[in-house]
A and B are shown apart, each in its own frame.
Chain A
């Protein structure tokens, strides 16, 4: 087991840091970017496409770079480090991941080619009011009519759901099971009501009323397993993004403790505060190990091993993210709750990631149900 990046991976990290890290080095740039639609910097997005980062996880035949989970994790962590609002996780890793898993060769080349070049923005319309992180659709239904397919029902919240020119939609099939469909942004019977999310992102209610769609992959097949697999990969990338967020939240906090004065002395004079920062560091290091490990399992293990690793890392990162996010604000005091100062936004983003694909409680429930199936947890396969 080796936790170190090779030279190419280090170069990738430096390149992403040079681009994304530089763009948002000043937190004001981030505030400006999220203030107006689409909620991110389209020029930066185009440059990410030029660098090949928007096609990073997709195979070269599909127009991508053919890189793996390690590279995806590097990009996600750097995005987290500056709380960049670009929708790499939801539009590229998750929505693109679903297409990569279920699409025909033709669909993959067309859809993922567009994603990779930055011309197309993808959204995965999967969550529904009342569902909690299941790989199955519940109330949006698919019907076959006159040789075509039509969807009816509501998906919400759909990240980038209003902006995306193409939606990947899960729906209950006539015979049961969950099918996947591609829906054009301008399809008839499609209503999209966009709104901002607390972390500066964009989401939407997406209503389908007999909306014509194209089956993703062979029509009529249950795709829940593909969805689960794409969700697991996105969970692990989300953990990497959270690690970047937590590192900065802690660094910002320690910088504040050594500069802010009260009672005539800097705050790091007070051991009560330093010890809490030390505990944040402990949480961070443990969560980071889990995120890196899960990334390696995704790269080298079976889908079952990756699913378990995703749950394990998500649980650890959920716990750490709450701990570090809450303490980062508390140790700052009032300034930490303001929108103009960065640290509260990091906590907001950590909270969003925690609830995007399954929180700690969700994953603990899965792990607890399987606790009797093994004698010990072995990190090595």
Chain B
């Protein structure tokens, strides 16, 4: 197991270095510098600003400084907000994003699992078709459409929840629901397929032949075996939610990383764009690693196979 983790960590590091390098040189190719915003400055002032952002050094030196900064978690200084470190800005805004993402992931997965479970138990029945319908809708329709519908009908017309902004738990409801549709759909589909397969397997027949009742068959024998593969979709789901938060935060004006990111794109604040990109990449790779390890932990077959090596 230790060797496996080490190997995965090395891969993770390698990927991060590649992304960082790639981002750095892309940034060099971009037209924007801090000067594009304030072009009425004197030469001397420009010089000071370039010095501040380290843009006077030759590119290889800039690269080394940049990578060195990354190693200690320094993502540079924002163009837009004077003297604010990108790392600080991200840390300031990570809370709402994490809360939204986690709520949507947890609530969505649980509801989705239940839907999938019901669909599998009542295979080819009305509940199966309804849950499949919900899954197709949730998977197909983009979250920003749901967000629009919720904002217009629930918030504007009915006034049940705030239209936008952040603060109380009521503010989190609509964005969470809009974000959760995708995990609901994916979890429901996946759970249904897995559950049907598990319920058709031989050991379920063994369990029934023992006299285990329907409830026991489904929950004690079925669900656990169906849950193990479900863990594999959690990674891609978390990433999809990350994408989702960008638009959802913009629509509901949630002060999270995504909203900051979208604003930075419109204001060409490249250090923030790059910093957030790297942060997202790190998060993504980290989640995938955690999921893989988790998978090894809950499946006794894999646990042993790794232990024997």
- Real complex partners, A and B? no
A interface list, Cβ under 8 A from B: none
B interface list, Cβ under 8 A from A: none
